[in-house]
């Protein structure tokens, strides 16, 4: 009888072990944090652990949720210092990436998504030319330097693109993005710190900390979450859905959905300080061999920015990233990165009063819709809008 009980116990134990192992394999790989009560799993957890973990991203402060960006469904999770996004339609290693929280918070702080450019021949606080410093890097795309401890931190971390231990420039760029401000003083929780904004992060210098921890990434995730909680009227963003009024009959809408007019010229109000001129709008099935996502199409247009300000007025800077388009359903889309493969793409070119500069910009939209409006976020004020739902005039 005792032997029978022992055999029965062993069999039951083995069955429980196998069942538990099956559940462990089948269950999602979750890692939970008692500090905030939220968990991370699957690709987002892998990205968090592989590319900096707690020092770079902080704890999760929300659950993973699904949202729509540029007409596509992504999974997004907010962390203390970043927002991690899973884009299933993108090829690895770009399936998981950080949201552009740096630009979002800089806009909340200063009213602009990018700070004033730094001169290439700028000098540091000691009078030494930044260009001569080995611990400085110049980023021509945004006309900014990153120096000293901030540059060392920028190069210390990165997205693993080649599975090698050493972090490359491209991997640091993929993680933090480009610098979008110079170093300046900002008061955070009652204390003034030297900070510098990047597309996806804010670097802060904390002299009160031990040496390894003097540079920290700011708690942008918490700041954005707090703003979203306390703001009753949300500020539209480049991916926000807006409402547009269809000005064309259905027969004309069908034409716009299939073929933009072969030539034409649209303008924003010409009596404004800044005028946007749009021409040569067309749909494309590929850009230099790259095809759009499934059930999507490229829209390519020639965009000109005209600075109509008086001679004593301010210059403006052109950048294709400052443009968005709105379709007939009211969805707003940011420019596609394939714009950089087109002609004359805009890289923060200064446009002085009386000047004009332009280039081609590409967008990707669902193949069932058409372009209704163009918006240019070039100043701290309202965007400049170009109405494309009317037949264009000839050049």
Q: What is the pLDDT of residues 330-364, one digit of tens each?
A: 888 999 888 888 876 777 788 888 888 888 999 99
CATH code given to domain 250-387: 2.60.40.1240
233: left (phi over 0), alpha (psi -120 to 50) or beta: beta
Q: Give the lowest-confidence range in 21-25, 110-114, 330-334.
A: 21-25
Question: Measured between alpha carbons, how far is 134 from 130 in angstroms, rounded to an integer?
Answer: 9
The answer on pLDDT for 131 being more than 90 is yes
Query: What percent of the chain shows pLDDT beyond 70?
Result: 82
What is 264-330 written as a DSSP string? -EEES-TTSSEEEEEEEEEEES-BTTBPPPTTEEEEEEEEEEEE---TTS--EEEEGGGEEEEETTS
Averaged pLDDT, 39-50: 91
Averaged pLDDT, 55-63: 88
Averaged pLDDT, 36-49: 91
Considering the chain, what is the average pLDDT of its residues?
80
Nearest to 145 by CA among 112, 182, 174, 103: 182
User: Where in the chain do CATH 2.60.40.1240 domains reside?
Assistant: 250-387
DSSP state of 211: G
Given a contact cutoff of 8 angstroms between Cβ atoms, the answer to whether 180 and 197 are in contact is: yes
Given a contact cutoff of 8 angstroms between Cβ atoms, the answer to whether 325 and 281 are in contact is: no
Question: Measured between alpha carbons, how far is 366 from 72 in angstroms, rounded to an integer?
Answer: 9
Question: Measured between alpha carbons, how far is 73 from 87 in angstroms, rounded to an integer?
Answer: 8
Averaged pLDDT, 182-198: 89
Say what the alpha-carbon torsion angle 114, 115, 121, 124 is, to the nearest 10 degrees. -130
């Amino acid at each position: 009888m005792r032997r029978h009980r022992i055999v029965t116990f062993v069999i039951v134990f083995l069955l429980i072990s196998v069942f538990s192992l099956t559940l462990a394999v089948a269950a999602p790989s979750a890692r939970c944090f008692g500090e905030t009560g939220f968990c991370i799993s699957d690709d987002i957890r892998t990205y968090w652990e592989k590319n900096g973990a707690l020092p770079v991203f902080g704890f999760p402060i929300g659950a993973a949720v699904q949202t729509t960006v540029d007409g596509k469904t992504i999974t997004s999770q907010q962390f203390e210092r970043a927002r991690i996004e899973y884009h299933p339609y993108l090829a690895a290693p770009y399936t998981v990436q950080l949201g552009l929280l740096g630009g979002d918070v800089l806009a909340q702080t200063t009213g602009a998504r990018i700070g004033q450019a730094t001169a290439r021949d700028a000098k540091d606080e000691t009078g030494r030319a930044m260009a001569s410093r080995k611990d400085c890097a110049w980023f021509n795309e945004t006309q900014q330097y990153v120096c000293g401890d901030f540059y060392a931190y920028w190069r210390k971390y990165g997205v693993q693109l080649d599975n090698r231990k050493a972090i490359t420039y491209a991997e640091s760029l993929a993680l933090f993005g480009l610098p979008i401000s110079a170093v300046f003083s900002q008061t955070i929780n009652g204390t003034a710190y030297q900070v510098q904004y990047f597309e996806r992060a804010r670097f802060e210098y904390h002299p009160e900390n031990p040496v390894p921890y003097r540079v920290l990434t700011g708690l942008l995730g918490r700041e954005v979450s707090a703003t979203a909680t306390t703001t009753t009227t949300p500020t539209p963003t480049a991916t926000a859905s807006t409402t547009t009024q269809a000005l064309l009959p259905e027969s004309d809408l069908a034409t716009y959905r299939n073929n933009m007019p072969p030539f034409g010229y649209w303008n924003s109000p010409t009596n404004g300080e800044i005028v946007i001129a749009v021409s040569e709008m067309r749909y494309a099935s590929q850009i230099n061999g790259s095809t759009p996502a499934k059930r999507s199409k490229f829209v390519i247009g020639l965009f000109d920015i005209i600075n109509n300000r008086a001679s004593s007025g301010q210059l403006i800077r052109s950048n294709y990233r400052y443009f968005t388009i709105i379709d007939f359903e009211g969805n707003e889309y940011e420019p596609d990165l394939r714009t950089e493969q087109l002609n004359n793409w805009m890289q923060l070119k200064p446009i002085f009063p009386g000047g004009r500069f332009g280039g081609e910009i590409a967008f990707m939209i669902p193949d069932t819709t058409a372009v209704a409006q163009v918006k240019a976020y070039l100043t701290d004020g309202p965007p400049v809008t170009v109405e494309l739902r009317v037949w264009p005039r000839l050049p």
